[in-house]
């Protein structure tokens, strides 16, 4: 019978530092400059930092170097050199994961487990004090001016930390029939759901009443989805009238038309609001075209300046006298009227008539600086007796 020989797998088993499942294994991607967590420890965020570091060290398979599972071996141990390499790597990661002020205080500690315990003793608060602080923050947490998403995120951060401090109820019976662990978890979720509904603004009272009256109570994620849907629906209802008004105004300004009854397009003036024309064709602003309204009392000038001149020509004759001219005396008026009557008789009679000298420059000055040629014929005929009823 052949002697028993050990299997080849046992004879050629790799050392621990070459086994990828061993804590002593260091892949090429690991280096001392790596920062395992994005949020560095600053003293007040120790609980969140601690949980993040535990997760990162477990992913690196190096948690045993900080929780005391692997102690420092003797110098004569074959794994001492490899332990020293792994320990130095974890120490570098811990120093990179804290702020510079805290890093300088642990610079001369070479054991990763000692650094871990030192940070825990310095920054870990007492459970009772922290629970009271979290409970107070939960009771005073309200939505306020924040949206539903931001309010829900704050609540979950506080509630998860508060739940972590509470003891977990485990089943004590021999064969589990009470499901105490599941019931305790459901109770925690119901408490968080009620806290979320209580902190909502009063405007969500209707949706809150509908959720509370539901049996059984929906899950926390379902409640958050319902409230978030209500918030989005309200935002759509508030924006709809504004959007429709802006679109309608932009269409009117762009095309100059508005839809009337029966779907037919009509012109719409943005100046007067009438539908017979547009603002770029409003005659009161751009002037009337030549020949417009002839025979109906409309002015025939195209521009507004022409309209003013035509209106001035059709004004009463007294309007041609310059403003501020001196008043005419009775004798001056009589001379002027006599001169005009003589000119009318000369033009209407073929026989030679007595020539009356035209007013001199001095007479024109006495008339108020107005030349007789610019004064039209008076609207009366016949002889003048000399009596002027202008004096009363």
List, for residues 264-302, the tens digit of each pLDDT value. Answer: 445 677 777 777 677 677 677 777 777 666 555 444 444
328 φ, ψ to 5°? Answer: -90, 145
- Separation of alpha carbons 91 and 66, rounded Å: 9
Residue among 360, 367, 356 nearest 331 (CA): 367
Highest mean pLDDT out of 209-223, 243-257, 364-378: 209-223
97 φ, ψ to 5°? Answer: -95, 10
Residue given tokens 């060290």 in the structure block: 57
Give, as one character, the DSSP assignment of residue 317: G
Report the percent of the chain where pLDDT is more than 70: 62
Q: Which segments of the chain are extended strands (E)?
A: 257-259, 265-267
* 212 pLDDT more than 70: yes
How far from chain centre, in Å, is Cα 68?
Answer: 53
Question: Which band of pLDDT confidence, cut at 50, 70 and 90, is reported for residue 241?
Answer: low
343 against 127, higher pLDDT: 343
Residue 224 in 3-state DSSP?
helix
Element (H, E) at 267: strand 265-267
Contact in structure between 94 and 116 (CB atoms under 8 Å): yes
228 φ, ψ to 5°? Answer: -65, -40
Highest mean pLDDT out of 10-14, 78-82, 273-277: 78-82
Question: Is residue 279 packed enough to be buried (19+ CB in 10 Å), middle (13-18) or exposed (0-12)?
Answer: middle
What does the pLDDT read at residue 337?
84
156-160, 200-204, 368-372: the lowest-pLDDT one: 368-372
Beta-bridged to residue 266, according to DSSP, are: 258
């Amino acid at each position: 019978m052949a002697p028993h020989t050990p299997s080849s797998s046992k004879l050629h088993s790799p050392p621990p530092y070459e086994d990828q499942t061993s804590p002593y294994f260091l892949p090429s991607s690991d280096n001392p400059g790596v920062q395992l967590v994005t949020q560095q420890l600053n003293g007040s965020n120790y609980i969140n930092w601690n949980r993040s570091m535990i997760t990162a060290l477990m992913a690196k398979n190096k948690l045993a170097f900080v929780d005391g599972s692997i102690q420092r071996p003797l110098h004569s141990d074959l794994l001492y050199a490899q332990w020293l390499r792994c320990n130095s790597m974890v120490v570098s990661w811990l120093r990179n994961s804290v702020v510079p002020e805290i890093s300088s205080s642990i610079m001369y500690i070479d054991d990763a487990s000692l650094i871990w315990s030192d940070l825990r003793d310095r920054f870990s608060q007492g459970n009772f004090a922290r629970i009271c602080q979290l409970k107070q923050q939960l009771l005073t947490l309200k939505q306020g001016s924040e949206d539903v998403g931001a309010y829900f995120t704050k609540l979950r951060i506080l509630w998860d930390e508060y739940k972590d401090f509470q003891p977990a109820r485990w089943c004590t019976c021999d064969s589990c029939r009470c499901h105490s662990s599941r019931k305790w978890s459901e109770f925690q979720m119901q408490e968080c759901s009620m806290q979320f509904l209580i902190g909502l603004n009063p405007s969500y009272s209707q949706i809150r009443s509908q959720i509370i009256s539901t049996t059984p109570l929906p899950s926390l994620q379902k409640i958050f989805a319902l409230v978030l849907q209500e918030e989005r629906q309200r935002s759509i209802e508030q924006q709809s009238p504004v959007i429709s008004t802006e679109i309608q105004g932009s269409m009117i300004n762009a095309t100059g038309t508005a839809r009337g009854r029966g779907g037919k397009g009509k012109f719409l003036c943005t100046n007067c609001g009438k539908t017979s024309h547009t603002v770029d064709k409003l005659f009161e602003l751009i002037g009337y075209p030549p020949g417009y309204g002839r025979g109906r009392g409309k002015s025939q000038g195209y521009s507004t300046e022409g309209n003013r001149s035509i209106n001035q020509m059709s004004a009463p004759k007294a309007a041609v006298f310059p403003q501020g001219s001196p008043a005419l005396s009775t004798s001056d008026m009589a001379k002027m009227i006599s001169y005009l009557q003589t000119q009318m008789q000369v033009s209407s009679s073929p026989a030679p008539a007595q020539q009356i000298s035209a007013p001199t420059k001095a007479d024109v000055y006495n008339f108020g600086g107005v030349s007789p040629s610019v004064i039209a014929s008076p609207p009366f005929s016949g002889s003048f007796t000399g009596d002027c009823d202008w004096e009363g």
